[in-house]
Every structure is written in C-alpha cells, then in structure tokens.
Structure 1
Amino acid sequence: MSKKEILQAEKSIALVKEQFSKGLCNALNLYPISSPMIVNEGTGINDDLNGIERPVSFPVKFLNNNRGVVVHSLAKWKRIRLQELELDAHEGILTDMKALRPDEDSSPIHSIYVDQWDWELHIDKSDRTLSYLKNIVRKIYQNLLDTEQKVYEELGIEPILPKKLSFIHSEQLLQLYPTLTPKEREHTIAKDYGAVFIIGIGGKLSNGEPHDSRSADYDDWTTPTEEGYKGLNGDLLVWNPVHDKALELSSMGIRVDKEALEHQLTLAGALDKKSLLYHSLLLADKLPLCIGGGLGQSRICMFLLRKKHIGEVQASIWPEEVRKQAELEGINLL
C-alpha cells in the first residue's frame, strides 16, 4: 500500500469514528470521558465476558502483592464512574475503550486488540422496560444510519442499511428456525431484514440452551418484560454483503439491579462474587440504575467502509498465515 493509500484509509477511518461518536453523544446525552486500560485484579470490576476468557494479568510494584489486569471492556467500571460523577437520570458517559482479549480467535472480524465506544446511561427505575431498551437501540441505529449517509456524501460509498431496524426475541428466533444453530439463526434473520436487534441473550431458551452466553453480573437477562419474554438486553446485527454473513456491531442492555444480580449469580453458580467490590456496592444499592453497552469501532468502520478484514481498519498482530493470505487476496492490513 502506498503512502497516499495508507493516509486516505486513515482519513476514512477517522471520518467514521468522529461522526459516529459525536452523534452518539448527542443522541443519548453522553459526556465523553477518559477511561482506564488497566484495573485492579480481584475487585470484580473487569468484564468477565462469557466467563472463560483470560485477562492479561501482571504484577504491579505499588499494589502490595496485588496485580493489574488489562480490561476486557468497561461494563462495570462505567457504572462505578456514573456514581462518582453523580450524573442525573438520563445523563451518561462515553469512553474510547482500548482492550486486549488474548483468547479471541483470529478471523476477518476478530482481533485480540479491541476498540469500542463503551457507553453507560443513568436511568430511572421506571425505565427498566423492554420498550425503553428498544427506544435507546433505535436512537443508536439512527446514528448508524446518519454515519452511513455521511460516508456516502464524503466517500461515495452507497448506503445499504434498511431505514427501519427490526426486533426479535431469541426465543422467537428459535421457534422460527428450530433446526438451526444460534449463529445460523443470526445469519438467516440478518439476511432477511438487513439489520436486527436480538433480544434476550444469556438466559436459557425453551430448548434448555441460551442463544449465547453472557456474564451474570452486568446485563439483565432474566427479568420478564412487558411482552412476556425474559431479558432486557440484546445484540445488534447487520447483514454484511462483503462476507455474506451477519455482523454483530453491539452488545448492550439494561444492567442488573440488586435482585437480578443475586438471581443471576445463583443461576451461574457464582455467589462467591458477592464479596467483590463491584458486587457488594451494587447489592448495597450504592450504584445507579443504568443501561449501557459497547459498540465495536473497528467493526463499524469495516462495515461502513466495506472492508474485508478488520486489520484494514486497525493496527494489531496477526498469525503469519493470515498476513500471507491477505497479501494473496490484495488486502492491505495496517
């Protein structure tokens, strides 16, 4: 790749990131804030993701035999920060999160380096409903549409997203396609609708299995909703014509309250976590009710810029065979 091509690629990436982050703050009433890449080990603040991923851990000289860990995401840290900032209901924060996930697979859409817009919004108790979740998701999706339009105006890349976002519960999706795997269901529904938000990620469905695993201590995936289903969280997916597959852009949800946390820790067999800093604060009603999530910066960039590999929009490390294959296909990794 020539110098001119590299700089043009970086300019395009910057366009997407600037437009999307600014629009997100305006849409959800968020304040951009600084955030850590490292938190103390053993506090329960780091995101457990699916509960099996290993964080990057290392000794820290001044922590008195404690260790630091590189964050997986800031799902729990943000909630503590909301409390520290004493933000009012319907005010929130947006962070430019950088993380490492060394157990992540290497693929065209996965990297061990993760960059997200991690956001969190203080809400009232009356907002803990499916209708409120959908309202927030629609605002985020509209911002994605606006960013896509800006990319078209500046770079000439034709918009492909549907104007209306579809919603479906993971149980409804299972009933539609009972013989398909969860990923196959996602691909099928995303291809049909172009963009879809799948509600209810983490709780067991009628077949005894969850649609996908989700940590027990941040999203609320067990509280019944006004539509009769369980789960106040979900994933935003779009159909990516470059790969001819569904692409997940965001995981988000209304966060657990005290009751949901205790219930989900019981289901997960993780009641030992109740003594950790984050969990004890929440169980003592010392943290605000909130909704939040993460939006993949590189994934949104690769989707809107029609890139084939995430390495075209972020600098990371890749297996040698991935680099060789990219060269054969004319893909320029940063």
Structure 2
Amino acid sequence: MEDRKIDTKMTILETEKAIKQVKDLFEVELATELHLIRVSAPMFVQPESGLNDNLNGFERPVSFDVPSLSTSVEVVHSLAKWKRYAIKKYGISTGFGLYTDMNAIRRDEKLDELHSIYVDQWDWEKAIDHSQRTFVTLKETVLAIVRAIKRTEETLKRLYPSLFSVVSNDVYFISSQELEDLYPTLTPKQRENKICEKYGTVFLSQIGCSLKSGKPHDSRSPDYDDWELNGDLLIWYPPLEAAVELTSMGIRVDTESLEKQLKISGCEDRKKREYHRLLLEGQLPSTIGGGIGQSRLCMVLLNKRHVGEVQASVWPKAMIIECEEKGIQLL
C-alpha cells in the first residue's frame, strides 16, 4: 500500500462527479459480491417497535410528533434491526440479501475530520443458515466486501490517475482481546492506530464483550450483533496518519446470545418490544449484516482529508476556518 499524502487538487465540481462515481461503482460491486438487491427503507420508526439502533447506548435519537398518528417517531440511527425484519417480510432466501441507502441524524456525534451529525451509509443484510453462524462465515464476508472496495478503488484510479491506494486485499484478522494483549498500556484507539500502521488493512473482531482489563474495546448495542461474531474493518489512512473504520458488521444475535447480552447490559426490559419478542420466539431468520459509510468510503477512496469534502453538513466555525487555511474545500 502506498504511503503518500498528496492532494489530488480536485475542484468541488470534479469532487461531486467523483462522489457519484464512487457510489455507483461500489453499489454494483457490493451487490454482486454478496448477492443483494436494493430496497427502500424507513428514515424514522416508532420507538415502541424496538427497531431503532441505540448504538453505544448514550446517543439520543432525533424525535418529532406526528399529529396524524397521535404519537412521536424517531429518526433511525441505523437499520440493523429493521433489515433483519425485512429479510423475513420479503421472503428472501438463504444466501441472498438486501441493501439500502440509509440516511440519519446523530446529533450527539462529536464532530471532527471523520464524524458528522449527518450519516449516510449502505445498510446491508444477508440471510444465512443457522449452521453458518461461525467466524468462517464472517471472515468470508469481510473478504468479499474488501474485494468490492478494492475493485471500486482500482476503477477510480484509472479515471483519476493521481489517486493513491488505501485498501489492501490482504486483510489482517485480530480479535479485540489479542489486540489488548499486544498493547495493554494503550487506549483502544491507540491500539487500532498501531495495528493498522503495521498491517494496513485490518479486521478487528469480537467487539462489545469485556476484555481482561474489565472494559470492552468499544461498546456495542446488545441486541443486533453477536459480540463473539462481529467486528470493524479498519485501514491505515496516510492523510490523517490514523486508523479509519470503513464498516462495522457482524452475524446477528440468536436467542441464546440475545438473552446473554441483554443480561450483561442490564437491558432485559427490551424483551417486551415487538422486535425482541419475535427474535426470542424464533420468528426471525439468521442473518449477517452491517453498515458501510458512504461519505467515509468516498473520503478515503478520493484521498480527502475531511468528511465535509464529500458531504454537505454543518461544522463549528473554528473548524471551517481551519479547513480554509489548509486548503480543504468543504461542501
């Protein structure tokens, strides 16, 4: 993988054209690799459905009242649970799946080069047999996604020769506990930087469960991913000299892992919600799924230094001034 920090000097209009090319190219590659069809998805759900994703547990959903419903709805944080329900509702067979454009607002996000309150991602989900709830299935899916990203990157480089590669087909797999064992004195983010600087493209697995230190590498909602069968795809990104997450994904909880994770998290009250009731009654299919950031992928494949270069959002005044001084063109 090339270690370069050049500025490709695209104009804003050239960047806008390239953004569409990234999205068009990658959608086709992803759908082909994972056998997915595109579907429509909600931007908001009713809280009592249990379909919203509470992410790390502290983020507040944006909500508003709907007079015609005599109730309020929440803007989705992600579609992790909705997609699994949709797999069942649409009758999608094992080995096939769906993807959708997910747009959301995460008002509690800390704004920086990689994070915005506006979220756009490809949410995808694939039906699997219960016997496929294994690390082998997870690893094969990770490699398929990396192939889709890499082919997209290679096409872009032919269109824009000044771009440099940031993704490798050679993925290094490591668990969060193995990573803590390697760097016990570092913070989780520092560990990610160390391992990605060394190996380039890394899949960090088993996120959510407590490590030997007594803390998880990162928090995860207890009711969508199985913490033993999930992870993040990370790359070393030279323009920021840091590890960047491209996607978070995992095999979804079954009845046993849901019961266990709800108990650990002190969230057993969620069993009363419709989604959780269906899952505990065995009425939802086994699936694997995840979310791939659209702006994040555009940012790294187009070698940008700020996510605001590939999406229109709001930023602190000081950040806008700093970007102007560095020649970073925010949309």
What range describes the TM-score normalised by the shorter chain of this pair? Answer: over 0.9
Give the superposition deviation at 1:326: 1.2
Q: Which residue identity is paired with 1:301?
A: C
Give the superposition deviation at 1:5: 2.6
Give the superposition deviation at 1:42: 2.2
Give the superposition deviation at 1:160: 3.7
> In structure 1, what is the equivalent of residue 18 of structure 2?
12
Query: Does the 8 A contact of 2:164 with 2:303 survive in 1?
Result: no
2:58 & 2:166 partners in 1: Cα distance? Answer: 36
> In structure 1, what is the equivalent of residue 314 of structure 2?
317
Question: Any stretches of 5+ residues in structure 2 without a counterpart?
Answer: 1-9
> In structure 2, what is the equivalent of residue 92 of structure 1?
97
> In structure 1, what is the equivalent of residue 247 of structure 2?
250
> In structure 1, what is the equivalent of residue 223 of structure 2?
217
Among candidates 153, 158, 168, match of residue 148 of structure 1: 153
2:98 & 2:125 partners in 1: Cα distance? Answer: 5
Map 1:101-120 onto structure 2 (within 5 A): 101-120=106-125
Matched, 1:281 2:313: no
Query: Does the 8 A contact of 2:120 with 2:293 survive in 1?
Result: yes
2:182 & 2:323 partners in 1: Cα distance? Answer: 37
Give the superposition deviation at 1:70: 0.5
Matched, 1:264 2:264: no
Matched, 1:75 2:80: yes
> In structure 2, what is the equivalent of residue 41 of structure 1?
47
Give the superposition deviation at 1:161: 2.5
Give the superposition deviation at 1:159: 2.1
Map 1:57-72 onto structure 2 (within 5 A): 57-64=63-70, 66-72=71-77
2:197 & 2:152 partners in 1: Cα distance? Answer: 21
> In structure 1, what is the equivalent of residue 209 of structure 2?
203
Among candidates 21, 29, 36, match of residue 35 of structure 2: 29
2:166 & 2:209 partners in 1: Cα distance? Answer: 32
> In structure 1, what is the equivalent of residue 129 of structure 2?
124
Query: Does the 8 A contact of 2:166 with 2:300 survive in 1?
Result: no
1:52 & 1:26 partners in 2: Cα distance? Answer: 36
Give the superposition deviation at 1:162: 2.5
Identity within the alignment, %: 51
2:318 & 2:35 partners in 1: Cα distance? Answer: 44
Q: Which residue identity is paired with 1:16?
A: V
Q: Deviations over 1:140-159 (max 9, x none)?
A: 01111111101101111132
Q: Which residue identity is paired with 1:253?
A: G
Q: Which residue identity is paired with 1:333?
A: L
Q: Deviations over 1:219-243 (max 9, x none)?
A: 001xxxxxxxxx1000000000000
1:173 & 1:105 partners in 2: Cα distance? Answer: 25
1:135 & 1:52 partners in 2: Cα distance? Answer: 32
> In structure 2, what is the equivalent of residue 134 of structure 1?
139
Query: Does the 8 A contact of 2:222 with 2:261 survive in 1?
Result: yes
2:168 & 2:147 partners in 1: Cα distance? Answer: 10
Among candidates 162, 165, 170, match of residue 164 of structure 1: 170
Please give the secondary structure, in 2, of the residue aligned with 1:250. Answer: strand
2:203 & 2:276 partners in 1: Cα distance? Answer: 28
1:170 & 1:310 partners in 2: Cα distance? Answer: 27
Q: Deviations over 1:288-325 (max 9, x none)?
A: 11000000111111101110110000011111111111
Please give the secondary structure, in 2, of the residue aligned with 1:236. Answer: strand
1:287 & 1:160 partners in 2: Cα distance? Answer: 38
Matched, 1:236 2:233: yes
CA RMSD of aligned residues (A): 1.0
Please give the secondary structure, in 2, of the residue aligned with 1:62. Answer: coil
Q: Deviations over 1:253-272 (max 9, x none)?
A: 00001111111101101110
Q: Which residue identity is paired with 1:201?
A: I
Query: Does the 8 A contact of 2:166 with 2:235 survive in 1?
Result: no
Q: Deviations over 1:89-117 (max 9, x none)?
A: 01100001101000001101000000001
Q: Which residue identity is paired with 1:79?
A: R
